[in-house]
Chains A and B, each alone.
Chain A
Amino acid sequence: MSEKILNKDQIGKFYNEFSDYNFYAPVNEKGNILFKKISNPDEIVLDFLNSKIPPKSVLFPNKEILFEYEYEGKDVIIKERDDLDEKYVLFGVRPCDAYSFQLMANFFSFHGNCEDEIYLKKKENTLIIGMGCNTPKQTCFCTSVGGNPFKKEDSDIFLVDLGEKYLVEAISDKGKELIQKMSWLADATNADKQKAKELAKKAEEMITTQIDAEKINNILDENFKHPIWKEVAESCVGCGTCAFLCPTCTCFDVIEEHDHYTNKGKRIRIWDTCQAPLYSMETSGHNPRPTKIERCRNRIMHKFSYYPKNYDLTGCVGCGRCVSYCPANNDLRSILKEIEQIES
């Protein structure tokens, strides 16, 4: 199918085509770009670098109810989620974040051996409208970890911002079906396509950070006890901002909220992070990752060594959020560079 053109003043019309979806799009809240469910297309921010919190928060929210329960006498009645068939559309997802859903889905299914029904069902019901990254940030390095500022494959529909209009390309079957229905979309001209190509080329050139993920993977294996980890941990404050803003971090904690008056309760999962000492604390009181050294190491090992071992992919999409927002300026890029320098 050939590419289409969506004028920016047609966004409202485009939005209306998704009436049976929960429409999530980037909005500006107090200066932060966040993916929120919108009811008015005017709320959508079209001109943004990337969201502060990745769109993973839609499918894997900071707080998610797993099930609810209620006491009846001594019996417990479990009420499962009944909203898992809801459909979602994520508009304006950057290619790195679009790719992250695949990485997260890997975790939540573990080769089909251990499936998280809630996440996977939501993922299945989600349509991703990706958007090419015309101006990647200085902190971006998607090209080193299997991505690209114009990588389309992880989106169902892919948009390229041409200024006044978007070049629309349907990627998946789901996407094609939808675009086909939107007969009002104009066809793209060769000039449009040419411009998109140029933008893609320019964007890729703007990414200056290059790391060798494969090499790092090999080095990490042999350097579990390398002094570099102490160095990395030295300035870390141990907050976990990196994990909370990471599009591929999947750690969660499960808690129980019990309402003592109605005797009803909920089992909830909330974001957690391996940077928190409590995360790895065992019931016995033993903590296998007692200090920041082990915890900092774990986060990097997980992305660049354990994940590749499990799924043959790097567990990082190179979005640069952890680089930009680390309070201690513990720059992942520099750390990876240093690891690369370790002599094996």
Chain B
Amino acid sequence: MGLEEDNKKIEESMRETARKLLEDKEVDAVIGYTEGTLPMSSMAMVITRAEDVDKLIWNNYCYINLATYLVPRIAQLVDPEKGDLKVGVISKGCVGRAIIHLKVEGQLNLDNVKIIGIPCNGIIDRKRIEKEIGQKEILEVSTSGNEIIVKGRDFEEKFAFDEYILNVCKQCKVKSPPNVDDACVGECQEIESVSDDYSDLAEFEALSAEEKWNHITELLEQCTKCHACREACPMCYCNLCFVDQNKPIWFGKTTDLSDIIVFHLIRSIHLVGRCVACGACTSVCPMGIDLNLLIRKVERIAKDRFDFTSGLSSKVMPPMMDFSMNDSQEFMLEED
């Protein structure tokens, strides 16, 4: 079956679920995606009436993680007693994971959020396609079979879908949301842990410290510190990010390389055991910086050190909310 049929199918069942939830008054609103105004884009949308469900769409450009619209804490979503607001969220696997993890961090109450699960088939790496098309304007994009067809004024190019989805999507093991605490309706799965192989990181990890540094600085040097990655990240919901703090001033706010690096470095530390690998940061970066490497490493640290994958359970505590006598400590300095 081709992509179009897949997407149609996903779209139809998603609309059906949303319609039912709204009609049965199980939710007051549904957050989903709607058609974007530009090729290779989509837009978040909140609908409150069952007759609007046909505005919801699914395609492979639904890159925004909708969970980001649930934080910072919306009082009605946290407290079931104030819970006069119930929200359904169209959730690909990573959106569902984000919602579950946000629950663990006390940002919402799963009684008030319905995860409308869909089996995501991958998000297209639009930044990569844009770069490859170069200085030509993309006017129309369509999918056919297993190909992405990009058209402009005087060109037409084809890209293999499997090759041009986000790197995180290629590695994704949780395509549809985990069913946790019965918060999930629609397509979801029972999943307790995922095994992952990190061979995609091997090449980078084999580099020397110097080479890694050079690679990372080259990767990040164009960062304008606009913080779109942070704002699009469902886990970056701090009211005041550490880079913005000035009492005390921890780190520089400029676009000096050191300030860029330290922002991404500390952000990575903060995301260990929290990142849900949705790749939204990469999809939104106006400079087209691919943060895949950071996402994968952050995932790997949590998995290797603490056997933890975020957003799979509302019971298992994430690394920094827990500790154990038996944690590995191979890095501790010891006498020879």
Which of A's residues lie within 8 Å of B, judged by CB? 29-33, 45, 47-49, 52-53, 62-63, 135, 137-139, 234-235, 237-241, 244-245, 253, 255, 257, 268, 270-271, 273, 276-278, 323-325, 327-331, 333-334
Distance (whole angstroms) from the CB of B11 to the closest CB of chain A: 18
**In the complex, are the beta carbons of B46 and A234 less than 8 A apart?**
yes
B residues 245-292 near A (Cβ < 8 Å) are 249, 252-256, 280, 283-284, 286-288
Across the interface, B232 reaches (CB within 8 A) one of A138, A237, A323, A334, namely A237
**In the complex, are the beta carbons of A237 and B68 less than 8 A apart?**
yes
**In the complex, are the beta carbons of B137 and A49 less than 8 A apart?**
yes
B residues 13-44 near A (Cβ < 8 Å) are 36-38, 41-44
Most buried by A among B225, B228, B230: B228
Q: Are A239 and B255 CB-contacts (below 8 A) given A62-B224, A324-B38?
A: no
A253–B252 Cα distance when bound, in Å, is 12
Residues of A within 8 Å of B239, CB to CB, are 277
A255–B228 Cα distance when bound, in Å, is 21
**In the complex, are the beta carbons of B224 and A328 less than 8 A apart?**
no
Distance (whole angstroms) from the CB of A34 to the closest CB of chain B: 8
Least CB separation from B233: chain A residue: A237
Tell me whether B244 is interfacial, beta carbon within 8 Å: yes
**In the complex, are the beta carbons of B286 and A52 less than 8 A apart?**
yes
Contacts A235-B69, A240-B231, A253-B253 aside, 9 further interface pairs with beta carbons under 8 A come to: A32-B287, A139-B38, A234-B69, A239-B226, A241-B284, A277-B239, A323-B38, A327-B232, A327-B284
Across the interface, B287 reaches (CB within 8 A) one of A52, A239, A331, A333, namely A52
Least CB separation from B44: chain A residue: A235
Residues of B within 8 Å of A257, CB to CB, are 252, 254
**In the complex, are the beta carbons of B137 and A138 less than 8 A apart?**
yes
Least CB separation from B35: chain A residue: A329
Residues of B within 8 Å of A324, CB to CB, are 38
Interface residues of B, dominant DSSP: loop
A244–B232 Cα distance when bound, in Å, is 16
Residues of B within 8 Å of A234, CB to CB, are 44-46, 69
Tell me whether B191 is interfacial, beta carbon within 8 Å: no
Interface residues of A, dominant DSSP: loop
Distance (whole angstroms) from the CB of B238 to the closest CB of chain A: 11
A270–B256 Cα distance when bound, in Å, is 11
Q: Are A240 and B286 CB-contacts (below 8 A) given A47-B135, A331-B37?
A: no
Least CB separation from A65: chain B residue: B254
B residues 95-146 near A (Cβ < 8 Å) are 130-131, 134-137, 139
**In the complex, are the beta carbons of B37 and A278 less than 8 A apart?**
no
Q: Are A270 and B41 CB-contacts (below 8 A) given A237-B64, A239-B226, A240-B227?
A: no
A237–B240 Cα distance when bound, in Å, is 15
Chain A proximity mask over B37-69: 1 for CB below 8 Å, otherwise 0: 110011111100000000000000000100011
Least CB separation from A253: chain B residue: B253
A237–B249 Cα distance when bound, in Å, is 25
**In the complex, are the beta carbons of B38 and A329 less than 8 A apart?**
yes
Across the interface, B135 reaches (CB within 8 A) one of A33, A53, A244, A334, namely A33
Least CB separation from A237: chain B residue: B231
Tell me whether B214 is interfacial, beta carbon within 8 Å: no
Tell me whether B153 is interfacial, beta carbon within 8 Å: yes
Q: 12 A-B contacts, Cβ less than 8 Å apart?
A: A31-B288, A53-B224, A62-B224, A63-B256, A235-B45, A237-B232, A239-B230, A241-B286, A323-B37, A327-B64, A327-B283, A327-B284
Q: Are A239 and B231 CB-contacts (below 8 A) given A30-B288, A135-B153, A329-B42?
A: yes
Distance (whole angstroms) from the CB of B43 to the closest CB of chain A: 4
Residues of A within 8 Å of B37, CB to CB, are 323, 329, 331, 333-334
Least CB separation from B39: chain A residue: A138
Tell me whether B222 is interfacial, beta carbon within 8 Å: yes
A239–B224 Cα distance when bound, in Å, is 12
Distance (whole angstroms) from the CB of A133 to the closest CB of chain B: 12
**In the complex, are the beta carbons of B252 and A278 less than 8 A apart?**
no
**In the complex, are the beta carbons of B137 and A244 less than 8 A apart?**
no
Distance (whole angstroms) from the CB of B147 to the closest CB of chain A: 22
Chain A proximity mask over B199-236: 1 for CB below 8 Å, otherwise 0: 00000000000000000000000101111101110000
Least CB separation from B42: chain A residue: A329
Least CB separation from B41: chain A residue: A329
Residues of A within 8 Å of B255, CB to CB, are 62-63, 270
A330–B255 Cα distance when bound, in Å, is 26
Residues of A within 8 Å of B38, CB to CB, are 138-139, 323-324, 329, 331
Distance (whole angstroms) from the CB of A172 to the closest CB of chain B: 28
Across the interface, B43 reaches (CB within 8 A) one of A30, A239, A329, A333, namely A329
